[in-house]
Chain A
């Protein structure tokens, strides 16, 4: 009996995340998940068992001290909690929203063995949003070291690397090709999942640390990595240019009008705010029935965006089954709730169009699952003679992205993989070129925001070591 008294009472389920009504939100671009209030976040934090062995921490690519910040939240010390998070995470408001927590920290949560994991991401988001609202306290910045670092690309990898290096006292300039910083956080992830104001607030915090951000600057075009080192006096360079090169299916009809890469579809909508056309100048055109090819987070974003742009039907067309969908569970659930339809074990073989070149349908073939392949997933095998025409008028291709070649192609002595990714030591981010480091999707291929941030952090550590040993 005495033992039971000291044992914490287990609350099996996560506090639900308040969200916009699915059918209402499927037609607007406002944020879907509304965030915990103060009472809920404290209750959720109190679910944490504060285990001695801290299993959750092994699941965090940026090594946030999760039990410590959750304890502070349980004690209502929100200022302390965000300070604790920011020791390791430069973009908590972003991570709290878009990290695949179920595959990371929450996967290892002791509670998750029998019950639902602690909502670590939701608690993190609360702390970050609260701080953004009441004004950010800047972390300490070390005295200037006199060393100059250029960061190429202002996505999650670049921003994290820049933030860490600035805190260590280095003079950091970030070069961004687009007219606004944030990379995929701005052009790719939709407003309804990650409000752009949140991203810009995080970018503003970086600027306050002394990081200079040069937008409209395409490295590989107006200058090269070599020129930055030789002529501009940079002591080290971090390349975090992401996976910005869209893959297409290479099937007939793919250049028809009404076929978008996911990048174009999302960039027009998110970065250029085509959903506010004609008040904003960039248009997007969408038909009644939209098919999104692929099963990852980008595909879910595309299908959900299509509904919000007014599609009557929005389909995910995926050649494996529900079980193999690579997207975050929450994104799939949200898509289902909003009315996105799924055509599993299906893949297009040709896009059909009319005389004016507009999409009129998509010839598909059915698949069945065979033996497991190298990835451990059962390999989809086409069923002969199963072709049929899917009635669609808009197609969004979301089957993945490769590394943008502009920087790799113009940097001398940079070792690349056969796919064009930069070869970098996973332990240090060091490339084959002295003083040049790389991380994020340009190294790994398209992955997650948090993995890119982890790579940015790793590279920052070794850049610091490189600069201070020189």
Chain B
């Protein structure tokens, strides 16, 4: 939609729907027809919520080309995601640009295991759906720390051919990590029958999945969530070593062969601005007059 801002018509991005999955995990459906028209599974958007805001990347969780909407699911970790989480249906996001990154490479390989950990369930969802639509038998594995952080079981059940659910603490369905479930699947189906694993979630989870599948010799694609600024290949902030080559997550990815990724380097770069992120959060909380921060 276009809105008149001081005599200038510009695209604005209305939050059409908000769902609260847990106190820290939220879903927005955004009115963004330009993005919805051309986005594909595996791509991401960058948003900025207000004039002084930072640009943050979020992977696309779903889209509706006819309605012109894009769905994002995010976990509140820093200042921007907390502010975003406080917004409501009817509010506007200042900037919303995409689709960015390369789509996930979809082909019919037979069986595909799609692993979603934590908030990673959201981006893995359209990918699982696309693999199923391409004729694959898709085995979904979704995991969360506990029952409260679990969402979209129904969506995943619809997107996958079969779905396995686990919680770290056993508060729902079963106790165990996604890697435990994945191991069981590989052992029961036979590693030769699983040509491809897709894993999206927190970095330690993706790394653990890759360590395991490497032993079995199963190709594993991960979606990396590096720090970014522009998201169009301009700044190089998101660089990552893949197979000893430097790649930009924003334009060469976000999908990469997980067995080639230099995870140690990636995790060091991920905490680059940790102190600043903390400062931003405290500064923000101070402003609220809530007495928090310092």
A278–B35 touching, CB < 8 Å:
no
Q: In the bound complex, how far is the Cα of B244 from the Cα of A149, in angstroms?
A: 43
Given contacts A179-B94, A222-B38, A281-B80, contact A263 B236 (CB under 8 A): yes
Point out the residues of chain A lying under 8 angstroms from B241, CB to CB. 255
B235 touches A267 (CB 8 A): yes
Given contacts A216-B96, A221-B99, A283-B276, contact A255 B235 (CB under 8 A): no
**Inter-chain contact count A-B, CB under 8 Å?**
127
B98 within 8 A of A: yes
Q: Which of A208-231 contact B (CB under 8 A)?
A: 214-218, 221-223
Q: Is B191 an interface residue (CB 8 A)?
A: no
Q: How far is the CA of A216 from the CA of B273 in the complex (A)?
A: 25
Within 8 A of A (CB), among B253-294: 265, 268-269, 272-273, 275-277, 279-280, 283-284
Q: Could you say which interface size class chain B belongs to? A: 35 or more
Instruction: Note all chain B residues with C-beta closer than 8 A to A404.
Output: 232-234
Q: Mark A256-297, 1 if CB is under 8 A from B, else 0.
A: 010011011001100011001111111101000000000000
Q: Determine whether the beta carbon of A405 is less than 8 Å from that of B229.
A: no
Q: How far is the CB of B215 from chain A (nearest CB, A)?
A: 27
Residues from chain B with a CB closer than 8 A to the CB of A245 are 233-234
Q: Which one, B47-55, B105-113, B176-184, B199-207, is touching chain A?
A: B47-55
- CB <8 Å contact, B234 and A285: no
Which residues of the partner chain B approach A273 to less than 8 Å between Cβ atoms?
A: 52
Give A135 Cβ to nearest chain B Cβ, in Å.
15
Q: Does B100 contact A (CB under 8 A)?
A: yes
Do B232 and A244 touch (CB < 8 A)?
yes
Say whether A285 contacts B272, CB under 8 Å: yes
Q: Does A310 reach chain B (CB closer than 8 Å)?
A: no
B192 within 8 A of A: no
Residues of A within 8 A of B239 (CB): 255
Interface string of A393-411 (1 = CB under 8 A from B): 0000000000011100000
| Distance in angstroms between the alpha carbons of A207 and B8 in the assembled complex | 9
Which of these, A179, A254, A260, contacts B97 with CB under 8 Å? Answer: A179
Q: Which of A221, A276, A404 has the most CB of B within 10 A?
A: A221
Q: How far does the alpha carbon of A338 sit from the alpha carbon of B35 in the complex, in Å?
A: 45
Are B236 and A264 closer than 8 Å at their CB atoms? yes
Residue A177 CB within 8 A of the other chain: yes
* Contact, CB under 8 Å: A283 / B236: no
Kindly identify which residue among B53, B229, B246 contacts A248, using a CB–CB cutoff of 8 Å. Answer: B246
Residues of B within 8 A of A282 (CB): 54-55, 229
Smallest CB-CB separation from B34: which chain A residue?
Answer: A222
Most buried by A among B8, B11, B230, B269: B230
Q: How far is the CA of A250 from the CA of B276 in the complex (A)?
A: 28
**B residues less than 8 Å from A187 (CB atoms):** 230, 234
The answer to whether A272 and B54 touch across the interface, beta carbons within 8 angstroms, is yes
Neighbour of B235 across the interface among A207, A246, A257, A285, CB < 8 A = A246
Does B54 lie within 8 Å of A357, measured CB to CB? no
> Are the C-beta atoms of B232 and A406 separated by less than 8 Å?
yes
Contact across chains for A405 and B232 when beta carbons are under 8 A apart:
no
Expressed in whole angstroms, the Cα–Cα distance for A135 and B91 within the complex equals 35
The answer to whether B269 and A357 have CB atoms under 8 Å apart is yes
Task: Give a binary string over B213-239; 1 marks a CB under 8 Å from any A CB, 0 the rest.
Answer: 000000000000000011011111101
Query: CA A47 – CA B160 in complex, angstroms?
Result: 79
> Which residues from A are CB-within-8-Å of B37?
222
- Contact bitstring B3-29, A, C-beta under 8 A = 1, else 0: 000001011000000000000000000
A218 and B97 contacting across the interface, CB-CB below 8 Å: yes
Residue of B nearest to A254 (CB): B246
Distance (Å) between the CB of A154 and the closest chain B CB?
13
* Contact indicator B98/A222 (Cβ below 8 Å): yes
**A178 at the A/B interface (Cβ < 8 Å)?**
yes
Residue B129 lies at the interface, judged by CB distance under 8 Å to chain A: no
Say whether A216 contacts B95, CB under 8 Å. yes
Interface flag for A371 (CB, 8 Å)? no
Q: What are 8 of the A-B contact pairs (CB < 8 Å)?
A: A217-B97, A218-B232, A221-B100, A222-B98, A222-B99, A263-B235, A283-B277, A283-B280
| Interface set of B (CB-CB < 8 Å, partner A) | 8, 10-11, 34-35, 37-38, 48, 52-55, 79-80, 94-100, 229-230, 232-237, 239-241, 246, 251, 265, 268-269, 272-273, 275-277, 279-280, 283-284
- Residue positions of A touching B, CB distance < 8 A: 177-179, 187, 207, 214-218, 221-223, 244-246, 248, 250, 254-255, 257, 260-261, 263-264, 267-268, 272-273, 276-283, 285, 356-357, 404-406
